[in-house]
Chains A and B, each alone.
Chain A
Amino acid sequence: MEVWDAIRRRRSIRKYKSQPVGEELVQKILEAGRWAPSASNMQMWGTREFVVVKDAKIMEIIRKVSPGCPKTAPLAIFACSNRKRAYEKCGKFARDYLTTVDCAMAVENMLLMAHSLGLGACTVKSFSSVAVKQILEIPENVEPELMVTIGYPDEKPAPPPKIALEKITYLDRYGDKLFKKG
């Protein structure tokens, strides 16, 4: 699948079939996350970690403490930032900001990989961090930044409205149009 196709055709999937996702596919998705860029290549210090939730009973509890989690998602991956390691290696800015950005970049890679494998995925931030940490026994210095639900899609959402490119792009100076009319 071409990158451009994957970017344009990917949708947030909120309805899934019950069919389980194979181990090999999960591993490919995780690899895509691992290969994402990171600030100062912090990832090599283990500042970005992933927790995969496959156990149906644990997934059910996660769903109950995550108002934004699709009801039928069979699997979830939490992209987590190890803030302690980030602070020790790269300081306060890395701990408070860059780790979150790094997780977001990994998640985008994972979404595109899932799509290219014929799977559906959805990024979820509407979960109780306190509850998720307690359920998954995530240590205090590690923060679950984003949840990605994954499964075989049971819906085909229409593309959402997107703002026109000319409204959000400028040339050389903020406010100077990149795309001139006529």
Chain B
Amino acid sequence: MAINCSKKDDEHVGNKKKDEGNEYLFELATFLAVSASGCMDEPPSYGSLRLIEALSKLIDLPKHVSCLSEDKFLKGIKNDIDEKSSLILSNMEEFNGFIDELVSRFVIELKERQKRLS
């Protein structure tokens, strides 16, 4: 599905907001690139950590791109990631449980969204 930032919207948003969005996208891209490099040497579980950290950053995208709107479900996911990702340092079992719980929440949400669309 393509995100449609129409020309009209672009004009409305102004160049400043566009630059901000582009900068944020670039920052996220940098994070992914250096994480890909780091994952070659870091503990395997850090792959999961970097992915959920990237997910948290991705969910922030609407703050920087005006043609996207904040998603309540994703916002909740982001809050929990920011709060619980440090579990990887103290309790691996709980960290794994948290990742599984995230997936489960996505599944429930997927089903609900599907219902709403049909």
- Of the candidates B30, B53, B91, which one forms a contact with A64 in the assembled complex, judged by CB atoms under 8 Å apart? B30
| Contact residues, B1-58 vs A (CB, 8 A) | 27, 30-31, 34-35, 37-38, 42, 46, 50, 53
Chain A 48-71: CB-based contact to B (< 8 A → 1; otherwise 0): 000000000000000011110000
Interface of A is mostly: loop
Contacting pair A67 B90 (CB below 8 A) = no
The reply to whether B46 and A126 form a contact with Cβ atoms under 8 Å apart is yes
Taking CB atoms, residues of chain A closer than 8 Å to B91 are 161
Which bracket fits the contact residues of A?
10 to 19
* A64 contacts across to B, CB distance below 8 A: 27, 30-31, 34
Interface size classification for chain B:
10 to 19
- Does B117 belong to the interface (CB within 8 Å)? no
B interface: dominant SS: helix
Given A67-B31, A161-B91, also A126-B42 (CB < 8 A) = yes
The docked-state distance in angstroms from the alpha carbon of A67 to that of B46 is: 10
A131 touches B90 (CB 8 A): no
Q: How many A-B residue pairs have CB under 8 A?
A: 29
In the assembled complex, the Cα of A161 lies from the Cα of B53 at a distance in Å of 23
Nearest-neighbor residue (CB-CB) of A161 within chain B: B90
Distance (whole angstroms) from the CB of A143 to the closest CB of chain B: 13
Please name all residues of chain B whose beta carbon is closer than 8 Å to the beta carbon of A128 when the two chains form the complex.
Answer: 34, 37-38
B30 contacts across to A, CB distance below 8 A: 64-65
Chain B residue at minimal CB-CB distance from A160 = B90
Which residues of chain A are within 8 angstroms of B38 by Cβ–Cβ distance?
67, 126-128
Closest chain A residue to B50, Cβ basis: A67
- B108 interface residue per 8 A CB criterion: no
With CB as the reference atom, state the residue of chain B lying closest to A128: B34
Shortest C-beta distance, A111 to chain B (Å), equals 16
A130 at the interface (CB under 8 A from B): yes
Q: Tell me, in angstroms, the Cα distance from A127 to B86 when the chains sit together.
A: 17
Tell me the complex Cα distance, A77–B46, Å.
Answer: 23
Most B Cβ at <10 Å: residue of A66, A128, A130: A128
Please give me the residue from chain A that is nearest to B90 by CB atom: A160
Binding site for B on A (CB under 8 A): 14, 64-67, 125-128, 130-131, 160-161
